[in-house]
Structure 1
Amino acid sequence: MSVFGTRVRRVEDRRLLTSGGTYVDDLRNPELTEAVHVTFVRAEVAHAVLTNVDVSRALAHPGVAAVYTAEDLTDLPPPKPYRRSDTVGDAFTEALLVRRTIRFVGEPIAIVLSYTLSEGQDAAQLVTVSYERLPAVVGPAQALLDKTLLFEDAGTNVVDEYNRDTYDDGVFADAEVVVEQEIANQRVPCIPIECRATAAAFDGTTLTVWHSSQNAQRSRTSLAESLGMPPDGIRVIVPDVGGGFGAKIGIDRDSILVAWAAWRSRTAVRWAETRSENLVAMTQGRAQLHRVRIGGRRDGTITAYRLDVVQDAGAYPRTSSLTPVTCTMAPGVYDIPHVQSGFRIVVTNATPVNKYRGAGRPEATAAIERAVDLFAAEIGMDPADVRGCNLIAASSFPFRTGTGARYDSGDYESALDTVLAAADYRRLRAEQAARRDSGCVSVLGIGISVYVEMTGGGGETGSVTVDRAGRATVLTGSSTQGQGHHTAWAMLVEDKLGIPMDRVTVVHGDTDLIPRGVGTYSSRSLQLGGSAVHEAATTVRAQACEYAADLLGCPVADVVLDTGSGTWYRTRHPDRPLSWAQVVQQTSTGTITADIEFVSQQPTFPFGAHLSVVEVDTETGRTTVLRHIALDDAGPVLNPILTEGQRHGGIAQGIAQALFEEVRHDGSGIPLTRTLQDCAPITAADLPDFELKSSETRTDANPLGVKGIGEAGTIGSTPAVQNAVIDAIAHLGVRHIDMPLTPGRVLAAIAEATDERQPQRIPSEKPIA
């Protein structure tokens, strides 16, 4: 397509950088003029039996309109628990407000409605919560012991288990080398710039909810189920959203409570989460323990691989698809004859875990890429060479993996070769050896990651309408949180219809205007939402061609649309053009429109290779990322500016997990990371300029030939950096360090490796049972 590869500035940016965005907390709609503020009373212990909630002093506080507890929610239908299959019972149900058992710090116990925010915050402090402490289950290893149960009726902390009874050690019997390792993929906070926010108003007929979300339609469905209301009695509007990263998919129980409060009180309400609330109450990411087993020959051939996963779901199992995806993507980019994967999902006394940028695919990649480096170290072979001799060949696509995934297209060998050449890999190895030989305290590490991920699949809606003025309006089920959808969809319309981008309006996130839609997550927008817009524009063009033929007095086959000028003319008569306005005026309705639901029968599989060069100070343990080279292939690139923005953000988040970010708890389940200073989010000063390489491999899953790009950088960068740090100090005897590779952990690993009396690894968790 002619528009692909065009560097077009984002049309959203002028407004965002001048007048600014309008987020939920900025809304000054007439319906919200008299809105009261919601303040949550949250649990400060991780595990306890709630014995009493006394709200009398809070109710008497000036400016308080109402205080609600679980006793006020008896009219709501029981919430539905996570259920992957019929084997999962109803015991793990999550109530909207704590009724009997507190299960994590930050769990909502009551809500205060007040006329000013400060009055509500003061009143919340006056709610007296009485409880009897219970032992806390901290981390998945403790959960597996089942000594303390979060849900007594379940009789276990294991919510779900899959495929582990199919493990067969026989596939490793012929391997010359077998390596095993426990690997922690640590719990991380999502940290969107805009915390969660919701406002709601009920006019007696319709409940209108303004919500910071990644999908308005899914939010409406959840609200209808939770409140027992018909979906057509609820309108959800998503204004500007300041980041989501998966944690804002749909609507969670805190925001459902805000909507319920508006319905119950018949008063408009609003809530904007504080950062300290966000870091304990918003869903978090990753939180998996892996046991990897990899076997093969000394020539570098990998013959068998097993990934056993324990997913820490937190206090309630919201991880409906996270762990199965990890298992599906277990073999990564490698042609391994025998692959086994299975999982257990456990509950712990921590904030619930849900999707976070990549949602299962980064975890799978981190496991296999560490396993390959461990295998390479064991046989004394360069990790680049081990990868090269095990990659799925480009001629093998479509390729069916041992876990059943059908990879659509790829060229993994070329991706690896490109980043190795860009890095001048052999020269880097020579420099590394020279530093080691000289006894330099600043050692060099080179880490490689080759990855494949799964994106898209399913459907999305899109409509295009051209009016009498020749302007186009796009209604899309995709929902932007900064990705640049308005720019991309306008580019697609201009390419197909010739209507300039500044005459194209894109609308998203309003269930009254767009009742059907799926939203934005799993890197699905362009391949599904964009394909829907492309097909809608194609249909509009075909309809308009017939009207133009009538005006021009010629057969449809003789009509030409010049997309450069946006004019219609008869073949060989370009001197008598028609504008879009003239063509549309021929219609009886004054518009030409097409409404499309594009459905893809299969997901797509973007891929790439990352190489990270780090410097580790062996005296301080500090790591500096010197270079990061990335090739991320997501098929044809519509707008390089948008693609590069996604890649930059993803790489930064991946490096952050590798080196800095982690949610930590003490032995009683109290979070130790309740401020940004504690969480150590990455800054620009911690990063080098990224070296981005290009590759475009089409897919046949959609008419644009594109795959997802939003999560790619996150998936490829994390294991590359982890491998690089461990590679830097491998000559000192270090075999493995769990993320994040903080200075303290690096120094401890060096010290332990040099002590012959200690095993050569630093576990961050107890062994998986």
Structure 2
Amino acid sequence: MSILGNEVRRVEDPRMLTDGGTYVADIPLEGAAHVVFVRSPVAHARLLSVETGEAQTMPGVVDVVTGDDLELAAQPPMMGDAAMSRTLLATGKVRFVGEPIAAVVAETVAQATDAAEAVWADYDPLPAVVDAESAADAPKLFDDAESNVAIALPPTAELDFGECEVVITHRIVNSKIYASPIEGRVAAAAWGDDGRLTCWSSTQGSHTAQGGIAGALGLEPSQVRVIIPDVGGGFGTKASPGPEECLLGWLARRVGRPVRWSETRTESLQSLGHSRAQFQTVTLGGTADGRLTHYRLDMLADAGAYPGVGALLPTFTGLMAPGNYDIENVGWSATAVVTNTAPVQAFRGAGRPEATAAIERAVDIFAAEIGMDPAEVRRRNYLAPDAFPLTTPTGAAYDSGDYRASLEAALEAADYQGLRADQAARREQGDLRLLGIGLSTYVEVTSPMGPVCTETGSLELRPDGTVLARTGATPFGQGHVTTLAMVVADTLGIDMDRIEIIHGDTDEIPSSDITGGSRTAQIAGSALFDASEKLIEVARPLAAELLEAAAADVVLDSETGQFHVIGTPARSANWADVAAAATERLFVENDFEQHGPTFPFGTHVAVVEVDTGTGEVRLERLVAVDDAGNLLNPLLAHGQIHGGLAAGAAQALIEEVRYDPDGNLLTSNFADYPVITTTELPSFEVHESVTPTPLNPLGAKGIGESGTVGSTPAVQNAVVDALSHLGIRHLDMPASPEKVWSAIASSLS
């Protein structure tokens, strides 16, 4: 019986719950010194000098370096003006609070911390640019750049909204948030006798880290080995190495010994990078009977102090702008600006949640304008199931979907009509606790957005009949070892405990992409599925010799893991028999190519109660119907959905990164940045539908980000819906008690 599609508990958990994980900080490095970075306390200033003399003489200090000591090239921006490059340690200017200006190397963390406090700098303060909406016309952060605009992408289409009977326009803020990984950035570096650099990193992709570190240090990738042990979370913000991680190899060579570094939580909040941070203007037009015909999304993205991924993310948003809807005329534009805030990074969804938030708010505002139930507007505008595959007006090649089916399933599961009746009754009775029902139908794009998505996978049959599998995927809490072992076990017909998965080591894995974009099950899983098929073919001649038959007559029973002659299963040979008969290594390698990304979809229904006296919002229910194609392990898929729902609800309700006008971070610890907990969340009601993708042999799409993509606008829509009878059409995230109470008070004044 196939194990794929069954709920299999994580094989990783016994180790985690007994011996515990092995993280970068746990790696023993004899003679390692500790690095602490000195960070700028001001958001924008000319850096006149950095004085290290006192720190150099303090107990345990091995070295103190500044940007002027480095002979390394600056890191160019991912997109935009090359003048916006970043040095590993600030020189000339500092551009955000928390930017590293010096590195202290000492025998202990305590000694390095003490010495870091003795380093002082002479700053010539400059006006801070914190507001992205005024950044384009503000004083330049980079003297050699033309302006603070990193990218400016003109409208992709000119739309004539004069053709529409109804047009709504609204400004929407997709608030800035922090990923809150349990483990912050941690890294270590050591040079070997062979002249190669070994780096241990808490990151999402070994070869991406290898390329980033080698590039920063002027090395060839082959000169750098990256090892990734257990990782305590990331979801985008650890996709590539930061300046601190890149600098460790240089420091290790300079001091002639290994070095290690772990960021504190405040450092993480200051400099790991924030996410989302889009200012959107939505314009949606259509007919009075609810048909949507024109949609335009104009985006202003805050890229933070250096335009890395933050300048790229709006292109993902633009790609997914029309969402699930059959809107004939769609266009988008995007501008990304630099500000004196932490650089913006990807986080769980990376541009796609922003697209869904925009279109789903626009549909609700349009529904309110024409006086139609928001569920009915959605019904009238979905892409038809028989239209797939199709290419949207923004160029997204949707593979498969049945959007109305997910809506109807979610409405039925939530008892939508009963909720509307309850809402009406409360309003009629003057209940002080208002009920809000929010809908969000989403479609998102998974795996890298290019035309071909690739990943490597290899299998080796050991002499004892066990299998060693190597994968380019890097797990950081998702249960990938279990999922990938299930694929191999199911195909080869062997027990999962006879499969070992190796990942996260550039010396063991020839190539890899980052674990991101919900790509692992579909891309890495398919790579190992194909490798398993290849291993069967390699083993077939050996099994045939054991069975004294022609190879063409021998088949593998994947239920039992036994090779036998067609029609005579009584005589067989298992994998251990084949391994014992082999005279050379049985090894296969596979580079899987998926031609195009997949597009999971679903519908979320959120139910909130709003206390009109205090403005407090309580999330009472969150019903999710998600479709990620074939689910390889529903238990793990549901875990990913639960985590995504929590992350999405958090942005809608409580989480927000805030700066003061001078660029000081006001949310610099978990007392000020309120990470959501179980006390703010209900028990999620999770359902699924299955629409397989034709793009890979497993029929699997991605699931790691879907919960976040759909839940945020569902919760936001629910809050606005609770207040809609008061004439309130929109409320930006997060729905804090103060914001909600003020909106209610204004509506009644």
Q: Tell me the TM-score normalised to structure 1 length.
A: 0.95
User: Which residue is equivalent to 1:103?
Assistant: 95
The one-letter code matched in structure 1 to 2:575 is: W
User: Which residue is equivalent to 1:528?
Assistant: 523
User: Which residue is equivalent to 1:549?
Assistant: 544
Cα pair 1:468 1:582 within 8 Å, conserved:
no
The one-letter code matched in structure 2 to 1:509 is: G
The one-letter code matched in structure 1 to 2:168 is: V
User: Which residue is equivalent to 1:764?
Assistant: none
Counterpart CA distance in 1 for 2:377 and 2:228 is 48
* Equivalent runs, 1:484-633 vs 2, <5 Å: 484-589=479-584, 591-633=585-627
Cα pair 2:73 2:87 within 8 Å, conserved:
no
Counterpart CA distance in 1 for 2:574 and 2:510 is 32
Counterpart CA distance in 2 for 1:493 and 1:89 is 46
- Of the three residues 634, 644, 647, the one matched with 2:638 is 644
Tell me, yes or no, if structure 1 residue 54 matches structure 2 residue 51. Answer: yes
Cα pair 1:45 1:669 within 8 Å, conserved:
yes
When the two chains are superposed, the root-mean-square deviation of aligned CA atoms in Å is: 1.2
- CA shift, 1:469, in A, is 0.4
Per-residue CA deviation, residues 61-96 of structure 1 (Å, 9 max, x unaligned), is: 11100001011112x23322223xxxx331111111
Counterpart CA distance in 2 for 1:173 and 1:562 is 65
- Give unmatched runs, 5+ long, in structure 2: none
User: Which residue is equivalent to 1:66?
Assistant: 63
Counterpart CA distance in 1 for 2:743 and 2:133 is 22
Q: Which secondary structure does the structure 2 equivalent of 1:153 belong to?
A: coil
The one-letter code matched in structure 1 to 2:732 is: D
Q: Which secondary structure does the structure 2 equivalent of 1:677 belong to?
A: coil
Which aligned segments of 4 or more residues in structure 1 are displaced greater than 6 angstroms? none
Per-residue CA deviation, residues 592-630 of structure 1 (Å, 9 max, x unaligned), is: 221011111211111000000111101111111111100
Cα pair 1:4 1:636 within 8 Å, conserved:
no
Cα pair 1:461 1:517 within 8 Å, conserved:
yes
- After superposing the two structures, state which structure 1 stretch, 440-449 or 516-525, moved more: 516-525
The one-letter code matched in structure 2 to 1:54 is: E
- CA shift, 1:314, in A, is 0.1
The one-letter code matched in structure 1 to 2:148 is: N
Counterpart CA distance in 2 for 1:10 and 1:521 is 20
Percent identity over the alignment is 49
Counterpart CA distance in 2 for 1:189 and 1:179 is 31
Q: Which secondary structure does the structure 1 equivalent of 2:83 belong to?
A: coil
Counterpart CA distance in 2 for 1:160 and 1:572 is 65
- Of the three residues 401, 404, 410, the one matched with 2:392 is 401
Tell me, yes or no, if structure 1 residue 8 matches structure 2 residue 3. Answer: no
Counterpart CA distance in 2 for 1:754 and 1:318 is 44
Cα pair 1:207 1:233 within 8 Å, conserved:
yes
- Of the three residues 681, 697, 722, the one matched with 1:703 is 697
Counterpart CA distance in 2 for 1:635 and 1:482 is 21
Cα pair 2:159 2:331 within 8 Å, conserved:
no
Per-residue CA deviation, residues 706-728 of structure 1 (Å, 9 max, x unaligned), is: 11100000000000000000100
Counterpart CA distance in 2 for 1:510 and 1:741 is 43
- After superposing the two structures, state which structure 1 stretch, 579-588 or 59-68, moved more: 579-588
* Equivalent runs, 1:89-128 vs 2, <5 Å: 89-128=81-120
User: Which residue is equivalent to 2:685?
Assistant: 691
Cα pair 2:138 2:148 within 8 Å, conserved:
no
Cα pair 1:464 1:474 within 8 Å, conserved:
yes
Q: Which secondary structure does the structure 1 equivalent of 2:84 belong to?
A: coil
Cα pair 2:159 2:329 within 8 Å, conserved:
no
Tell me, yes or no, if structure 1 residue 714 matches structure 2 residue 708. Answer: yes
Counterpart CA distance in 2 for 1:716 and 1:618 is 26
- Of the three residues 729, 735, 740, the one matched with 1:735 is 729
Counterpart CA distance in 2 for 1:160 and 1:678 is 32
Tell me, yes or no, if structure 1 residue 179 matches structure 2 residue 150. Answer: no
The one-letter code matched in structure 2 to 1:307 is: L
- Of the three residues 183, 195, 203, the one matched with 2:184 is 195
- CA shift, 1:26, in A, is 1.3
Tell me, yes or no, if structure 1 residue 162 matches structure 2 residue 153. Answer: yes
Cα pair 2:62 2:105 within 8 Å, conserved:
yes
User: Which residue is equivalent to 1:301?
Assistant: 291
- CA shift, 1:169, in A, is 4.7
Cα pair 2:159 2:330 within 8 Å, conserved:
no
- CA shift, 1:565, in A, is 2.9
User: Which residue is equivalent to 1:765?
Assistant: none
* Equivalent runs, 1:73-472 vs 2, <5 Å: 73-74=70-71, 76-83=72-79, 88-144=80-136, 146-164=137-155, 166=156, 168-170=158-160, 172-204=161-193, 205-319=195-309, 321-457=312-448, 458-472=453-467
Per-residue CA deviation, residues 555-585 of structure 1 (Å, 9 max, x unaligned), is: 2233232333322222343333222122123
Q: How many residues align?
A: 743
Counterpart CA distance in 1 for 2:225 and 2:213 is 10
- CA shift, 1:754, in A, is 2.3
The one-letter code matched in structure 2 to 1:114 is: A
- CA shift, 1:41, in A, is 0.1
User: Which residue is equivalent to 1:745?
Assistant: 739
Q: Tell me the TM-score normalised to structure 2 length.
A: 0.98
- CA shift, 1:233, in A, is 1.3
The one-letter code matched in structure 1 to 2:77 is: P
Cα pair 2:213 2:245 within 8 Å, conserved:
no
Counterpart CA distance in 1 for 2:379 and 2:58 is 69
Counterpart CA distance in 1 for 2:342 and 2:583 is 56
- CA shift, 1:321, in A, is 3.1
Per-residue CA deviation, residues 665-706 of structure 1 (Å, 9 max, x unaligned), is: 101010100011211010011111111111010111111111
- Give unmatched runs, 5+ long, in structure 1: 756-769
Q: Which secondary structure does the structure 1 equivalent of 2:487 belong to?
A: helix
- CA shift, 1:546, in A, is 1.6
Cα pair 1:472 1:499 within 8 Å, conserved:
no
Cα pair 1:643 1:709 within 8 Å, conserved:
yes
